[in-house]
A and B are shown apart, each in its own frame.
Chain A
């Protein structure tokens, strides 16, 4: 790996900060919506001005699940590329184009939702029909992200040409894997939006194939969660070792884990569709098996991380069995926040195994257990790692530094988040096991004991949600401090290097044709026959429905 970090120019930093701004504005808006949802569901609060619950639910899902994540990830990844392979002026211009296309798309979709024309939730299942501007806005977000992906591909290509025979820097390699996965996966949802939804929402196509649109959505929907997770893994593999004063555990192993994640994150969408009536159960089972293959890179990652912790600690001279663990830099928020994220991934991953299990899924499908699950994985593991990155990335970009006071506030923020999420996600998991549904406004249904129990857990969720919102306010405050008010200085951009005696990385790990080829072959294997089945056995198409969402 190249030992030298490239300096980030002022021009570049401005671009990366633009992405961070959208991230934190989204956090504030989306978080407020989340707070309101938990309050409504407690049954003790009604929304003012006749605002509909499902409008804020759609805003929450779209803004946090699609906008915040995508902007943060693309901004962070651009900075990794800038640090390791550099960005040319021309590439920078195109990168700005990607930002603006994504932002315009976001604003279009957001305004359409806020005026109540698109209360279809972030999954926008047909045949509920939103205003065409919603679908066009989403398409623009995706197209903008593709522009970013192609800039990243170009950046590495140019670097490779100038560094013949050298292996690509590990962070750049990881970014390329994530953007490849994103590109291959978003082809599904883009096809769905451009070919099925937009013509149908404009009235050019009379009906829509509901099952096909759902299948295309979930072909994208699962890799979407890995698209969130991989940047967290990047931080765990290359940033955290540096923060704790160690080195990379293994360059080759990290690359191998990312390649496996690329291969096994896409041909698995059926595990979100296990209870659908129209898909052959054998193909559901095949995709369940493929889903579980990600256990392997996950175990590799867990091993690497803890091996780095132990090796670093022992090198510093801690001899006892767990001495190295006690001496980790717990008071450094750049370490603490991602570490709690890692810890949350243990129950989060275990819950994921339940969800994807062929049969057990029936117990939890569409219950609020699922919501609890992704608030543990996405909204704890991923977001705490993103916060952990923010503490050094933002001051690095703005030429300031993380002061001890801001570090302390960050630690408080991490604890508030952990505490609030334990209450909220915990009660969601339990309520889900008792059958409580997700995505539903407050309701007493037909009454009775079952429903009364659910409502108790919903009150607990409102308590957790309120604590989390305090955490969001604090995080936005820290972001503003790091952007404008922290003292000027130099904040390190932590990227770990290899051991001096590290074994060389096998060349085959950079054979893109091979890995992309296997990825595509797996996708074709998992999807060709079932999709032909879906097309051959499709029922009459569905007409659009506007009135159920209040249009």
Chain B
């Protein structure tokens, strides 16, 4: 009787861990989805428009060049990063001073930990987040969100080949359906814009987000193998801050672009400041949840459930800015977005309903899990 109790408790403990991992990934999707609302709003402020026109050297908003647009995207991404760091400072204060001590210990280990945070910061910051802001500004929030939906495919492949994590047939099926959904969304909009001769820079931004986040997930998981997720995420954004504030913004300033002045204008405006705080909080906590999910359910599953952010963002954007502004008025485009979002959701549900035993240990260790194992233990 007692043996059965232990087995039941053990099975329950594994289920609890997996459930916690899935809940974290789901939180990530919700916060990430909300992030696209302030992320889209920020492009509509006059100061951002003025900055783009100034850098482009034009007086009409319709004449803004790619140079002006990219400079604005860099400035917004840098501010986003600064406000994410602010939210992490508060978060770590709440978690206790031991987190700061662990941060010091981890960052000293350059070859074991820090290199992964830096690589994650490069893939996530100047590639994925900048790409996403470019897509948001050029094509719109809803498209930017769904354009990167296929990132779990890259993450899953890397977690299998590089990290040696187990991937079940069910998980592969889920990832493939998510990929089909993303292609549905991407292909029709791309074909439509190619016919109209629209600039493709927004699509390049979407592709940057897709590759950047996919690779970052695998790199982050490698770092989290030897460090705590809260520490890893704070360090990763710390590294990204260095990229923006030590390299990119000074580089823009050297090109005589008044990036600091305009960044200051943005922070001094209460409404823009509130938007930036929203950006920092939503993105900060989406990343915390993302990093916490990886060690519990693996990169592939964490990213696949996290990719529900596409659906969440469309819902939140429709709620906050309306159907026409969020998706557009063309029926084919709206239909492809809806069908793609449904496919992505089906793929996610397939992965979510995977047996707990499949996720008990993320790698094949070749070790027995003890004689008291419950029936769903491998």
The reply to whether chain A is a binding partner of chain B is: no
Interface residues of B (CB under 8 A from A): none
Interface residues of A (CB under 8 A from B): none
